[in-house]
Chains A and B, each alone.
Chain A
Amino acid sequence: MDLHYLTAHELGDLLQRREVSAVEVTEAIIDRIEAVDGRVQAYLTRTAEQAFEQAKAIDAARARGEKPGPLAGVPMALKDNLCTEGIRTTCASRMLAGWVPPYDATVVRRLKAAGAVMLGKLNMDEFAMGSSTENSGFFPTRNPWDLERVPGGSSGGSVAAVAAGEACYALGSDTGGSIRQPASFCGVVGMKPTYGRVSRYGLVAFASSLDQIGPITRDVTDCALVLGVIAGHDPSDSTSADLPVPDYRAALRPEIKGLKIGVPREYFGAGMEPEVETVVRRAIARLEEMGAVCEETSLPHTEYALPAYYLVAPAEASSNLARYDGVGYGLRVPGKDIIAMYMNTRSQGFGPEVKRRIMLGTYALSSGYYDAYYLKALKVRTLIRRDFEAAFAKYDLLATPTAPTVAFRLGEKAGDPLAMYLSDLCTIPINMAGLPALSLPCGFSQGLPVGLQLIGKAFDEATLLRVAYAFEQTTEYHRRRPELGVA
């Protein structure tokens, strides 16, 4: 039995029946990491020692007759922008190369309380800015399906680790598609919950009004399980919603008859690979066969989402990233005075994409341009939100492609930021509107995974999961594993 390719709930069942121990599972996955990570390069920091300690503690608890939850003893890993007490958290930036947070993110605390075994921290685009994980300040991660291709970004390390059997599940963050787009490229399930559903406390901010933490898993059941653990109000995050968290696993029923699904035509625009479109349309047809009512619809302001996003996100980022100045922590490059020290530190600490966005954002917020750029973008954001409100007056959810293409080659778009930005075309509007969305494997094109994106009403993750689960029950795509040249 390949323990490293089981889902979290399958492993959880084995652990609960004590057919395997958490230590055995941990060992198996650490062996897998040893075997493949040299090629995939998903991990920035590995914490095997702590993982074994956590695994032993879970085994001991079970031996005492305790019954910890279904994720207890299941090995997982975190995107390296989630703060972990005592374990370095770098955001894949030289700026934070040696930084060790003195505290855990709320989601990390919740996972620890659920008995999670943490294997380490995963690669990403620097400060979560990018769509390919080539912008990591350290090294690019590769797509397990084709090592010459990108895993997507910015949660590329998290997604590649889950796809390659190097973690049973992972957490990523999604500001404009950073969980869903790589999930689509690597054939796993990735969800961006509603803005406010999961506490952002301890997530190193990129764009605060768009960022959301979410699960990356091998199937929908795992997605429901992990979301159930990390969701819920947190008094440390005033933007986190004080709403009850449903039992997401209990919501998974293979029953979608009569459900109304809108298919916005703007998401099938120019730049879409025909074969990807075919695969996605076939998936939507399958939902129809299962009893859903699918109908073409329109979200007329979609085309403005990308430009508005590239004002709002960099504006917030320029402010959020101002704290990396060499004064209190992180990299410091000396200079003849304080201004020179700031400039040297920031020049050498940040990579080109981060600098590009800081400059864009600083410009967009500066006096004289604020109204024309930032404020205008906020107005566009309102229009986009209204598009969705209108659509959700008619439909229970929306279905679209997650990304216009399959995974592209390393280096293919690295020199062309605008081409790179287009790969998040289908995901960005959802962040602008703060809605929940999920990407799940729905087929293959050129032997590479294609993702179907389901978009839900605010705080209605349950419906998304239910539809995704129903779809998954009728397909085998989520069971396929990349070869990677090892058993």
Chain B
Amino acid sequence: MEYEAVIGLEVHVELKTNAKAFCGCTTAFGGEPNTHVCPVCLGLPGVLPVINRQVVEFGLKTALALNCQVAPFCKFDRKNYYYPDLPKNYQISQYDLPLARGGHLKITVDGEERVIGITRVHMEEDAGKLIHVDGPDGGYSLVDYNRTGVPLLEIVSEPDLRSPAEARAYMEKLRAILQYLDVSDCKMEEGSLRCDANVSVRPRGSQAFGTKTEVKNLNSFRSLQRALEYEIERQVAILEGGGRVEQATMAWDENRGVTYVMRTKEEAQDYRYFPDPDLVPLEIDAAWIERVRRELPELPDARCRRLIDDYGLPAYDAGVITSSRDLADYFDRVVALYPDAKTVSNWIMGDFLRLLNAGNLEPRQSPVPPEEMAALLQLQKEGTISGKIAKQVLEEMFATGKGARQVVQEKGLVQISDAAALAQIVEEVLAANPGVVEDYRNGKDKALGFLVGQVMKVTKGKANPGLVNRLLKERL
């Protein structure tokens, strides 16, 4: 039998507000343990939370960008459970009245566009971090509360995803949108973007849902895809063996590449949700929503459309360039100075991204600013350097941070376009290769290419190829 997967994602996004969700402490990542804390985020006796308006603002932006309906009235609830890094032993979250519901986003996988539903977007606070230390008596654990109270958005999708590749594409698209909105730095390695995946399988064509499992805390695109692949295979194997999938919460072991059971349905938590009496409900009026809507930046889909319509870029190029706001911003700045979009796109998708990846850099960290990228392309267009030399120059610019003209000058890479100087070299090459000259004259056109190559070799690639061609033809 053929099976299909049904996947829904719960994505947690750390917001990069200046202050924590319910107090004034910094949200900066890292820091000496327990230095970014105050009585409120430590949950000391007697303290009260007060919602940070910027958290709501960022939540609104995200909800609107995901085409959600914002609730005019929402409230905060307590989710009660014991955990040593949760200072109050309840988490402030939203339960039955979340910030927003009912949105969607579009993904494209293998050329097919799919619309994935967003069930809800709600606000909550993050917990702290446990550090486990081995010791002679079985070890001990330390708690770092720096992260407690950092604002999170939870974005829950409908079970509309059908494959690990789609789940990954959804997550990547979501990250791009969040980056465009500038509400999160989306650093998965620092935990600022992470997700839980609900997954079940069913015979293809069936409408009923199978029993699902929830795979917790996937913190890279790679683990998301691998964990889902593994879990789907595991479930299919159970069904094919005539078994039944048990409803369970699973964890992903990155090293062994397997999922394992954390707890089963019987051990399910009772969170005893109830409205947090310390926080007054939030009323979000239409004017506030409208203002945020007006201030939304251009989002990936719109920007992609614009690159296709305004610059005539192929859809593939536009998709790659707009997958990251950083990259798209870089592209726009280069094109503004060097308005040949397809050339810019080729360079950015090619050598530029390759060099960035090699240095593990984001576009905004590029040692080559957009102005210098444009200057480089200009040098090539003017004929000062050849395309091949331009690649060398770009590598040098990445390595040294120097400008395009500076590199060309210092390395003496200016193209030789002086006909008199080249004529001399052409003479020498012809004299040194009488056999090839003979071949050419006998009609072997390919021989010309060899001779051009020889001239290039002598000039270390600096000879203007057009001029070399012309000179050679004249002499032959």
Which residues in A have some Cβ–Cβ distance to B below 8 Å? 81-83, 89, 91, 96, 99, 101-103, 105, 200-205, 207-209, 235-239, 315-316, 318-319, 322-323, 325, 327-329, 338, 342, 362, 365-367, 370, 374
CB-CB < 8 A to A200: which residues of B?
48
CB-CB < 8 A to B278: which residues of A?
205, 208, 238-239
CB-CB < 8 A to B43: which residues of A?
323, 328
Count, chain B residues at interface, CB 8 A: 28
Q: Is A201 within 8 A of B44, CB to CB?
A: no
Q: How far is the CB of A297 from chain B (nearest CB, A)?
A: 30
Partner of A325, one of B47, B80, B82, B273: B82
B46 within 8 A of A: yes
Q: How far is the CB of A171 from chain B (nearest CB, A)?
A: 13
- The stretch that binds A, out of B84-92, B160-168, B325-333, B449-457, is B84-92
Interface of A is mostly: loop
Beyond A319-B272, A367-B270, whether A201 also contacts B46 by CB under 8 A is yes
Q: Is A315 within 8 A of B274, CB to CB?
A: yes
**23 pairs of residues in contact across A and B, judged by CB atoms under 8 Å:** A81-B46, A82-B46, A83-B45, A101-B39, A102-B44, A103-B44, A205-B278, A237-B48, A237-B50, A238-B48, A238-B278, A238-B279, A238-B280, A315-B274, A318-B272, A323-B87, A328-B43, A342-B82, A365-B274, A366-B270, A367-B270, A367-B272, A370-B272
CB-CB < 8 A to A81: which residues of B?
46
Partner of A91, one of B45, B51, B89, B143: B45
CB-CB < 8 A to A103: which residues of B?
39, 44, 47
Q: How far is the CB of A435 from chain B (nearest CB, A)?
A: 17
A28 to B46, CA, bound (A): 32
Beyond A209-B277, A239-B280, whether A322 also contacts B90 by CB under 8 A is yes
Beyond A83-B46, A200-B48, A236-B50, whether A328 also contacts B87 by CB under 8 A is yes
A238 to B48, CA, bound (A): 8
CB-CB < 8 A to A325: which residues of B?
82, 84, 89
B152 within 8 A of A: no
Which residue of chain B is the closest to A104 with respect to CB atoms? B46
CB-CB < 8 A to B89: which residues of A?
322-323, 325
Q: Is A101 within 8 A of B46, CB to CB?
A: yes
A161 to B50, CA, bound (A): 34
CB-CB < 8 A to B49: which residues of A?
238
A394 to B278, CA, bound (A): 32
Q: Is B277 within 8 A of A316, CB to CB?
A: yes
Q: How far is the CB of B1 from chain A (nearest CB, A)?
A: 36
A277 to B278, CA, bound (A): 38
Beyond A202-B46, A322-B80, whether A208 also contacts B277 by CB under 8 A is yes
Q: Which of B146-204 contact A (CB under 8 A)?
A: none
Q: Is A338 within 8 A of B270, CB to CB?
A: no
B42 within 8 A of A: yes
Binary per-residue interface labels of chain B (308-336) against chain A in the complex, 1 for a CB within 8 Å, 0 otherwise: 00000000000000000000000000000
Q: Is A235 within 8 A of B50, CB to CB?
A: yes
B120 within 8 A of A: no
Q: How far is the CB of B23 from chain A (nearest CB, A)?
A: 9
CB-CB < 8 A to A374: which residues of B?
274
CB-CB < 8 A to A323: which residues of B?
43, 45, 87-89
Which residue of chain B is the closest to A102 with respect to CB atoms? B39
A91 to B44, CA, bound (A): 13
Q: How far is the CB of A311 from chain B (nearest CB, A)?
A: 11
A201 to B38, CA, bound (A): 14
A370 to B46, CA, bound (A): 26
List 16 additional A-B contacts (Cβ < 8 Å) besides A237-B48, A239-B278: A101-B46, A102-B39, A202-B46, A237-B50, A238-B279, A239-B280, A319-B90, A323-B43, A323-B45, A323-B87, A327-B143, A328-B42, A365-B272, A365-B273, A365-B274, A367-B272
B216 within 8 A of A: no
B78 within 8 A of A: yes
Q: How far is the CB of A137 from chain B (nearest CB, A)?
A: 14
Which residue of chain B is the closest to A338 with respect to CB atoms? B84
A259 to B49, CA, bound (A): 40
Q: Is B45 within 8 A of A89, CB to CB?
A: yes
A91 to B46, CA, bound (A): 11
Partner of A201, one of B42, B48, B88, B143: B48
Q: How far is the CB of B288 from chain A (nearest CB, A)?
A: 17
Q: Is B82 within 8 A of A366, CB to CB?
A: no
CB-CB < 8 A to A236: which residues of B?
48, 50
Q: Which 9 A-B pairs have the closest CB atoms?
A: A322-B89, A209-B277, A208-B277, A365-B272, A204-B45, A83-B46, A202-B46, A204-B46, A323-B88
Binary per-residue interface labels of chain B (426-438) against chain A in the complex, 1 for a CB within 8 Å, 0 otherwise: 0000000000000
Q: How far is the CB of A412 from chain B (nearest CB, A)?
A: 31
CB-CB < 8 A to B90: which residues of A?
319, 322
Beyond A238-B50, A319-B90, A374-B274, whether A365 also contacts B80 by CB under 8 A is yes
Binary per-residue interface labels of chain B (89-109) against chain A in the complex, 1 for a CB within 8 Å, 0 otherwise: 110000000000000000000
A322 to B274, CA, bound (A): 14
CB-CB < 8 A to B87: which residues of A?
323, 327-328
A237 to B274, CA, bound (A): 19
